[in-house]
Amino acid sequence: MSIIIKSSRASDIKSSEITPESDYLNRREFIKKSSLLLGAAWAGRVAMPVAASTKDFSSIIKSPYSTDVPPNSFKEITSYNNFYEFGTSKKDPARNAGDFQTDPWSITIEGECKKQGRFDLDDLIKPFALEERIYRFRCVEGWSMVIPWIGFSLADLIKQCEPNSRAKYIEFTTLYDPKRMPGQKRRVLQWPYTEGLRIDEAMNPLTLMAVGLYGKTMPNQNGAPIRLVVPWKYGFKSIKSIVKIRFTETQPACTWNVTAPKEYGFYSNVNPNVDHPRWSQRTERRIGSKFWEPKQKTLMFNGYGEDVAYLYKDMDLTKYF
């Protein structure tokens, strides 16, 4: 599979404009390190000389996959969330996830791959380069944000796992612990939350494993300590607080697809021409916009069609929505 690096998308926005947060101010050193490491890290995806960690973002690089749209504020991104493990209201995750402990954290890898077992999170991600990627993020309810994630390519992790020829899909599972995640005490979904991708979708260079945002460790309400980000799909595909990754030959059962199969398909590609049974998907409102401002037109594949449309060229996306 060819990798398209879109240099024209590299963010030229000053870090002070992207991140007006007080603890993301050491931008001169950040820019200096980024300019030295960007070429090496993307010419063949060479690992960073400093090991990746969920706690140390001193050597992140700016990704050429970033959109040039200015991101939402840190407050907006961390106070309006879908994370049913902490409640069904958009405000519930920020209210209820404050005491959620994510250290230590481990991930189990299993299924059709050579590298299997239970791994400490920081040990697992040490070989990978951490990047800042500013992605559009679109939720199925019709709201959107632009978020400066910190993470690494899922494709790099997959290569480390060495999947075999039977690995056609990859399944992700969220932590199940009702004592720590009070929303799981309610039967609003089938717990634990699971999601899945085709292996070629997972290997696409846009697919990100995120461990932070806005230069900070991932906030609990946004999926700490590690979550998936698939920018061309609806937000519910980007599973949070991952504890298990499984390679499988058959399509995995995904939580929303199981819960409401007539409303949520396995692929969940952003397709504005397919309405949700209860609302239109043709427009969206960006969080933070004024109520009198018009909604934005929803773009096919959330605007990432140039990078991902080839994955679905022989599929009817009104059927496999």
Structure tokens at 209: 């494993």
Taking the C-alpha atoms of residue 159 and residue 115, their distance in angstroms, rounded to an integer, is: 10
Q: State the Cα–Cα distance between residues 194 and 98, nearest whole angstrom.
A: 23
pLDDT of residue 54: 83
Number of domains the chain contains? 1
**Which pTM was predicted?**
0.84
Residue 318 in domain: no
CATH number at residue 69: 3.90.420.10
pLDDT confidence bin for 51, thresholds 50/70/90: low
Is residue 321 assigned to a domain? no
pLDDT in tens, 269-305: 999 999 999 999 999 999 999 988 999 999 999 999 9
Strand residues in the chain grouped as ranges (E): 61-62, 106-111, 117-120, 131-138, 143-153, 169-174, 194-198, 208-213, 216-217, 227-229, 242-248, 283-286, 296-297
Residue span of the structural domain in which 175 resides: 7-312
Q: What is the pLDDT of residues 24-39, one digit of tens each?
A: 334 334 333 333 333 3
106 vs 152: CA distance, rounded Å = 17
pLDDT in tens, 238-262: 999 999 999 999 999 999 999 999 8
Q: Distance between CA 39 and CA 191 in Å, rounded?
A: 43
Q: In 10 A of CB 105, how many CB atoms?
A: 18
Q: pLDDT class for 140, splitting at 50, 70, 90?
A: very high
Residue 78 lies in a domain: yes
